[in-house]
Structure 1
Amino acid sequence: MAAKSPKRVCSQSHLEEHDGLRKMVSFSTRHFDPSGLPADMHRVYTSLKERFDEEYALLFVFNMQTAMEMHRAWNMTLLTTKTLKKCSEMVGLTMTWELGVIKLKFFMEDGDFELQRKCPYDYDSEYQDMFMRIAAALYNGHMTVHEALLFQEEAKQGKHTAKTGLFIRDYPGRLIVLPAMSSTCAVIFFGGTEYEAGVAAICGLVTGLIEYALQRVGGEATMLIDLAVGLITGVIGTLFYKYDGQKYCLVSIFMGTLYWFFYGTAFVVGLVEILAGELETGVTRFMAVSIKTFVLCVMCCFGMLLAVPDPTEVAEMWGAQAANCGTLDLGLYWWRVPLYLACSLSVLGQYRFRVEQMWRGLLVQLAGYEVQFQVSRSMVTSGDAKSNLDVMASNVCGAAASVVTACFLSAMMDFINSIYYAQLLQRGAHRDETDSVLDDVLYGCISGVVKFFNCIGIGREADKHMVQLEKKLYQQSKELKDPDHDRKEIRLERHEEDLLLDTIVYAESMNIWAMLMPAVYQLVPGSMIARMWFNTIIPPSGPNATDDNTFAGLMVTSISLALGLIVGEAIVEIVSGILSLCRKKEEQHTMLHENEGKEEEKPESEEVPPLGFELGIADAISGEKDEKDEEVWPL
């Protein structure tokens, strides 16, 4: 006798209960074909299907694929674990996991099955956001598991990404982004002049071509990317320094070019994992990032030797170039903020951020940078006194400001989008049926923005077509509600059903970390690790030598950034709790007046609280976990 499968939120009855459109629209049958799954996953699927049912087995497949894609897109084990735990609890999966830096292990039915995967780093904000939305749509009762799995396949094929997003997602489009990022980073983060920016742009273009070529070759050739990138950067920078006649700062050129390859974000994430008690993963990540950076620095120095074969001359040149560094005080120039925004745009491009949503990322990045910059300048020590207090304070404030800004934007856009998507998906009264001017204005503004983005070629065509489909949905739903009309259901073409499912997914809240990660990346000290390794390979000497403890500065910066993320989340949680308490008191007060003399009835709500954020860092570090079962999965 087959084991009884637990009740799940993606059953047909639950879909109709939580999404009224599912009752009205006659969807064609969609069936996910498991025969294309990897052999080991297919064996587990077959066994689970025999012991339980097909839906339970497919939910396992969905959960595992969600874990792999999310881990690849942000590589944050603590947050992925929190998400998987929520998913498994919602659908009753007997599933556990071990998430390493790149190696993932999944266990089913108390260890009866074990699957392992390797997921290398591949920061991808759009996929991180999209796969979270797909999971939310499934577990909030708006999609079947077959529809969700098919949507995952389509997402990986790029069917739900705008054409501009597909262009910058991979080479050759990234050949535009990488030089822009290298040149702007050389100035905004390392005090370079226009000369260093120009050389860094050349290095960025060449390193992009090298990475593109090695990726096209594939296989073990990709292991040579760091070696080749570091080598060519050292050669080009040294040749310009020696033969161009300008007073270049090699540090600005090298750091700006290699900034994307340092993976400084992973360094901070490793420290957060250590604080949370995930020592194995945290220490492994810490060592992996340090060694990767060391390889880049060694190859960069070797490139210097290729350009100038005399080791003594290279050491003297490295010491002499230090006098050309740090000569630019960005605080004195009006173009500091525009340049930072240009740098931020290139970073968002590298993170594969949705082009039409980049304004969100820019606001989060600008908030963190400006707070960090202003706090640092206000606390600069005078005279010969040396202190890391300004670094610590500025990083805590900058990281906290990024978190608060990201959460505020998320709350604001969730409110606006809830009105917009409620009209598109016929969730509630239509704008023609209410007297709300605000709903009409918001819907008109957003639909106008959607059409504008498509007009200039950066929007998703699905968004534009859904605005057109809304009129058909409203007309047919109106006929369906009319007792004198013979319509019994809403019928759509296959491509219209695809549009509707696309809209259902994008109606879910945007993942906060998709906005926050690029900002954190620009705050992290990946370059400080490189400075430490450069000082190890070529120890400073002579009049320009310093006795700065780079490692101490590195630790202060990293820990303060991690603490800033926790502080920012704490601020959001406190504000969210206060607003939620005020809202409940107001609702209770209203109900008391409305139900005087009547039997009090408590209305059920299916809406996600407007400030239902779950960043997960503070909970992971404190060891706290939410044991309360929730119908709606707040992301």
Structure 2
Amino acid sequence: MAMEAKSPRRVCSHAHLEENDGLRKTVSFNKRRFDPSKLPPDMLRVYKSLKERFDEEYALLFVFNMQTAMEMHRAWNMTLLTSKTLKKCSEMVGLTMTWELGVIKLKFFMEDGDFELQRKVPYDYDSEFQDMFMRIASALYNGHMTVHEALLFQQEAKEGKHTAGTGLFIRDYPGRLIILPAMSSTCAVIFFGGTHREAGVAAICGLVTGLIEYFLVRVGGEATMLIDLAVGFITGVIGSLFYHFDGQNYCMVSIFMGTLYWFFYGTAFVVGLVEILAGELETGVTRFMAVSIKTFVLCVMCCCGILVTLDNPAQVWAAQSTYCNTLDLGEYWWRIPLYLACSVAVLGQYRFRLEQMWRGLLVQLAGYEAQFQVSRYFLNKADHAAKDNLDVMASNICGAAASVLTACFLSAMMDKINSIYYAQLLQRGAHRDETDSKLDDVLYGCISGVVKCFNCIGIGRKHDKHMVELEKKIYQHSKELKDPTHERTEIKLDPEEEDLLLDTIVYAESMNIWAMLMPAVYQLVPGSMIARMWFETIIPPADSSQQDNTFAGLMVTSISLALGLILGEAIVEIISGIFQAIFGSRSKKDDPPEEETKVKVSEPNDGAVAIAVDEKMSEDSTWPL
């Protein structure tokens, strides 16, 4: 006889959905089945054992949680975020599952260690996938999907079925060959003080390094281990050749830093520090060392490129510094447009959804401007000491905090607007023809118009456009179903139309704030400062104190960014608490006495997204930061 789960909460069962979801009461969904036989052999063995001891749904929930952890970790590589998500999701359904999430190696344990599975998950920053898999988990545990539907949706997401065509193009090579040169050239100017000359050379280096990475990835296997070696070497060679044969008036640092900026993994450096502050010493230190060594390899190979190209590399390195930082960006009107162009390239590298890029750009701009203006303020003070790092500390704390606050504000605003839009699409409230609210009608019309516009210019998802058309059919059939004189007894949809509904159910969940926040943090992080320290180790400057200042600046920048994230999160929590104290009691009095269990995401002070359980959340609740 099968054992029952210790504390089951089957919010994702067919019975629960049909009882509590308004859409399931009117639309007859086909019962989709996930095929476990396609699972890896070790996971399949655990699935079969759990199915015998408990039941099929309990076993499938384990599979879902494990796959969620793997895909979120691959897409973002943030152990704190993934761990907090899995912990509360497991508690929701009484799943006895634990895990150890390392930088690369993941371990999963079931039923007090009776089963153990291990996986290696490499870096692959992917904002859209990180957001999508968080939404799938939200839809499942909020009781809007069955576990079979969620597992099938995960499978389709990995196949690119729910990504826009333009998103698929820039997701991988050869589409990314457009993004790398754009990012290299703009970074060389906006972050490393280069001119249009350095920007042009960096663009060439970015294109060549992209071709090298594309080729080695296509070869696969151990060839991928050569990517950093080849990228660093060819960047050093191309930059040195231009310096040698074109007048010797280039800032080589700007070219190298701009080209290799994407390969430095500076975000992981700050994440490692956040993990250390949160008490995850083993993971944090491992990540810290891994990023430092990876950056050192890039710098060594870049110097090898200089060595085989130039006769006196040490003298050239000292001479080229006179051409660096010759522009005062604060004096030029095109500083912000150039930064936005760089931000677009960064969002493309992070596989950010194109139709949502405006959100990411606003978060990036807020962080950059706060950092830039605070730094300028300190530099312009008459009593500011040139050798202290107070300006670095203050500007980075303000920049990171501004990014968090902007991301939270945009999330709260768009969640409120989207809740009205998706309530109409998914029949989760009164239809716009049944309510007196003209504002709801205007919002729905505006958003549906924007959806059609994005599809016309080729950057939107066709699922969104087709769902707007399907909503009219569902509403008409719902009216006929409620009419006692009409012969309709159920609403039956085609398989393609069911796919649209499930897609809309997932995207009705709140956008994950870290998907907006991390590209902005990436542009604030000190990956390049690590490279500067290694370059000065390989080719020491004449003034030995300069090297010490670089290391001090690196640590101040890193810690201040981590503190800025924590400060921003604390401010959000305080503001949320004030609003909860003022409006919370009034809302509870007005809420109907329903007991549906919901999930929402909040931000703890350790820099990871936590999940809180609210037993009486309304249907339009979202996942705020």
TM-score by length of 1: 0.94
**Offset, 1:625:** 9.1
The answer to which of 273-282 and 8-17 deviates more is 8-17
Residues 101-500 of structure 1: pairs in structure 2 closer than 5 A = 101-308=103-310, 310=311, 313-380=312-379, 382=382, 385-500=386-501
**Offset, 1:488:** 1.7
**Offset, 1:548:** 4.9
Query: Cα 1:524–1:582, aligned 2, differ >3 Å: closer, same or farther?
Result: same
Q: Is the 8 A contact 1:264 1:524 kept in 2?
A: yes
1:559 has 2:559 as partner: yes
Structure 2: state its 5+ residue gaps.
none
In structure 1, what is the Cα distance between the partners aligned to 2:65 and 2:353? 24
**Offset, 1:585:** 4.0
Aligned amino acid, residue 316 of structure 2: M
> What are the Cα deviations for residues 149-169 of structure 1, in whole angstroms up to 9, with x where unaligned?
000000000000000000000
Give the secondary-structure state (helix, strand or coil) at the position aligned to 1:618: coil
Query: Cα 1:62–1:625, aligned 2, differ >3 Å: closer, same or farther?
Result: closer
Q: Which residue of 1 aligns with 2:519?
A: 518
Give the secondary-structure state (helix, strand or coil) at the position aligned to 1:116: strand
**Offset, 1:582:** 1.5
> What are the Cα deviations for residues 397-431 of structure 1, in whole angstroms up to 9, with x where unaligned?
00000000001000000001000000001111100
In structure 1, what is the Cα distance between the partners aligned to 2:145 and 2:592? 28
Query: Cα 1:627–1:512, aligned 2, differ >3 Å: closer, same or farther?
Result: closer
Q: Is the 8 A contact 2:602 2:612 kept in 1?
A: no
> What are the Cα deviations for residues 426-452 of structure 1, in whole angstroms up to 9, with x where unaligned?
111100111110010000000000000
Q: Which residue of 1 aligns with 2:549?
A: 549
Aligned amino acid, residue 425 of structure 1: L
Q: Is the 8 A contact 1:185 1:343 kept in 2?
A: yes
In structure 1, what is the Cα distance between the partners aligned to 2:296 and 2:102? 22
Q: Which residue of 2 aligns with 1:595?
A: none
> Which 4+ residue blocks in structure 1 deviate beyond 4 angstroms?
381-384, 605-609, 624-633
Give the secondary-structure state (helix, strand or coil) at the position aligned to 1:527: helix
Give the secondary-structure state (helix, strand or coil) at the position aligned to 1:472: helix
> What are the Cα deviations for residues 337-392 of structure 1, in whole angstroms up to 9, with x where unaligned?
00000000000000000001000000000000000000010011657631111100
Query: Cα 1:271–1:23, aligned 2, differ >3 Å: closer, same or farther?
Result: same
Query: Cα 1:138–1:495, aligned 2, differ >3 Å: closer, same or farther?
Result: same
Aligned amino acid, residue 35 of structure 1: S
Query: Cα 1:444–1:335, aligned 2, differ >3 Å: closer, same or farther?
Result: same
Q: Is the 8 A contact 1:16 1:23 kept in 2?
A: yes
Of 46, 56, 59 in structure 2, the residue corresponding to residue 57 of structure 1 is 59
Q: Is the 8 A contact 2:9 2:92 kept in 1?
A: no
> What are the Cα deviations for residues 12-63 of structure 1, in whole angstroms up to 9, with x where unaligned?
2221233210111111121100111111000000100111111111100000
**Offset, 1:484:** 2.0
Give the secondary-structure state (helix, strand or coil) at the position aligned to 2:492: coil
In structure 2, what is the Cα distance between the partners aligned to 1:547 and 1:95? 48
In structure 2, what is the Cα distance between the partners aligned to 1:633 and 1:375? 34
In structure 2, what is the Cα distance between the partners aligned to 1:429 and 1:2? 43
Query: Cα 1:427–1:630, aligned 2, differ >3 Å: closer, same or farther?
Result: closer
Aligned amino acid, residue 364 of structure 2: Q
Of 608, 611, 614 in structure 1, the residue corresponding to residue 602 of structure 2 is 614
Q: Is the 8 A contact 1:608 1:634 kept in 2?
A: no
Q: Which residue of 2 aligns with 1:594?
A: none
Q: Is the 8 A contact 1:78 1:617 kept in 2?
A: no
In structure 2, what is the Cα distance between the partners aligned to 1:491 and 1:587? 37
Using the aligned pairs only, state the percent identity. Answer: 80
**Offset, 1:486:** 2.3
Query: Cα 1:18–1:403, aligned 2, differ >3 Å: closer, same or farther?
Result: farther
In structure 1, what is the Cα distance between the partners aligned to 2:566 and 2:443? 34
**Offset, 1:86:** 1.1
Give the secondary-structure state (helix, strand or coil) at the position aligned to 1:272: helix
Query: Cα 1:368–1:18, aligned 2, differ >3 Å: closer, same or farther?
Result: farther
> What are the Cα deviations for residues 57-81 of structure 1, in whole angstroms up to 9, with x where unaligned?
1100000000000011111111111
TM-score by length of 2: 0.96
Give the secondary-structure state (helix, strand or coil) at the position aligned to 2:249: coil
In structure 2, what is the Cα distance between the partners aligned to 1:625 and 1:499? 28
In structure 1, what is the Cα distance between the partners aligned to 2:238 and 2:613? 57
Give the secondary-structure state (helix, strand or coil) at the position aligned to 1:97: strand
Query: Cα 1:284–1:545, aligned 2, differ >3 Å: closer, same or farther?
Result: closer
Number of residue pairs matched? 617
In structure 2, what is the Cα distance between the partners aligned to 1:151 and 1:561? 36
Give the secondary-structure state (helix, strand or coil) at the position aligned to 2:28: coil
Give the secondary-structure state (helix, strand or coil) at the position aligned to 1:549: helix
Query: Cα 1:627–1:175, aligned 2, differ >3 Å: closer, same or farther?
Result: closer
Query: Cα 1:615–1:34, aligned 2, differ >3 Å: closer, same or farther?
Result: same
Aligned amino acid, residue 7 of structure 1: R
1:73 has 2:63 as partner: no
**Offset, 1:584:** 2.4
